[in-house]
Structure 1
Amino acid sequence: MDRIFGGALLLKSPTDWKVVRWETVKSVANNDFTRVVGLIPIAGYLILFNDEIAGMLSFNALAGVGGAERSSFLLDGLSKLRFVFFGSLLVLCSFLIYRLFRPEILEAAKNDLEYSELVRQRYSVYELAQIEERVHSESWVERTEAFWMVLGKKRTKKPVVAGFRPDSRTQMFSKHGDYIGFLAREWWVGMMHTYKPARICSLTLGVLGYAMLAVPSLDIAQAVLRHILTG
């Protein structure tokens, strides 16, 4: 729907919060740390259910606790291993969901402006026509005001790219460069809203996984600090 503001028509689009869009999910579910953590469940399974190894990882020496002294840790060694194991398992699931459902253009450009520039440099007339057809379809949800509003009026869904020959690409960009740039940005933002259940699931699992991974580190940190301060 449109609304009146300052005498001009403005587009009111159903845009999700950035925190639950694919560009944010990527920062949580697909980074260098995620790829390393994803390997932990493979080796962690053997460690978690090996009593001898679990007993060795009490971390008491690190906190300066020995003999019959009372441990300054809030969690025992096995509990820490469990947090690491299940936390890394959640992070791995978050990564797999992201890889399965994420839009391909997110791997090519990190934001709409970067994608718009990529389109200008590399996309063919045929590819642009396909994007325009999708964006002008009845099923498309309008996202960016910069594309849909022209001088205070709603843009009509009239093809501009369609019908151009591949050898006239330069002429097309010269005549409709701004339109194509905004069209690319509209397409990119729209793709960031696809598969909402997968986005929320991947983000939730990733955040919970990192939280579980942080618990053992926080427990070790507080125990070491207590030893230093009371030492």
Structure 2
Amino acid sequence: MFALENLDGHEIIGTSDKKIGSVLDFWSWSYSNISNPFIRGYLAEYVVYKTLQTQPDQFQFYDGYHLNRNEMDQDDLVFSYQGSKIRVQIKSTDTLCQKQEFSCSPSRGFVAGDNKNQPEKSFNSDIYVFAQVRLDNDDGQRINNILSVWNSRENEGFYKTPEEKAEYHRIQHSVRSDVMNLNNWSFYIASSSEVSKLAEGGKIAVETLENNRAVHKADINSLCRVVGRVCFLTIPNRTMDNRDKATS
């Protein structure tokens, strides 16, 4: 798939005679809750992509493929490593989540050469990157406490005092700052064959990844090196199929 050219945010949303906002306004409205699990997942893909881009001699992305995010693609990233096509899936969680685990299930991958899905479910990407963001547990507890108080005032129109609103905004600012600080991110990188052994019931616990010697851990500074190592170890185990032969 060849990606669209990116918008720059200044495009107008409205009619010929009335503006209701801009694309930048829409982005701010829809994505400001950056700690939301769905948006954090998009951010994780962006972080891994932009980090690997810093080593273009090692990770060669196909022309135009990742200019913007491809929502329906089987793989989150696709690049060439030492002449071999590498398909990547990226998962994310944070330490405030009740269950410290990643969702990871087999699927029927799309075969571009045949223009159809595979008949059997499997772990189709070559490597998997699991990203965990460390957040302040106290911030999480404070947010829950405030929301509990507000929800108890349903009959009063969910009344909020100015002090409560100020505290809530302060904590949310702290959480969002922690999410955007890449020193708070840890990454677990594993091959498809290893992931297929670890995923039980479509879930993999963080503790399982942490304690498995076949899973490689990285921080933001070592991410390129570790991803490269897993790619190197994965290539000899791959078989050429229609997806490799297909042109991106």
TM-score by length of 1: 0.25
Structure of higher CA gyration radius: 1
Q: Whose relative contact order is higher, 1 or 2, with alpha carbons under 8 Å and at least 6 apart?
A: 1
Which one has a larger percent strand, Structure 1 or Structure 2? 2
TM-score by length of 2: 0.24
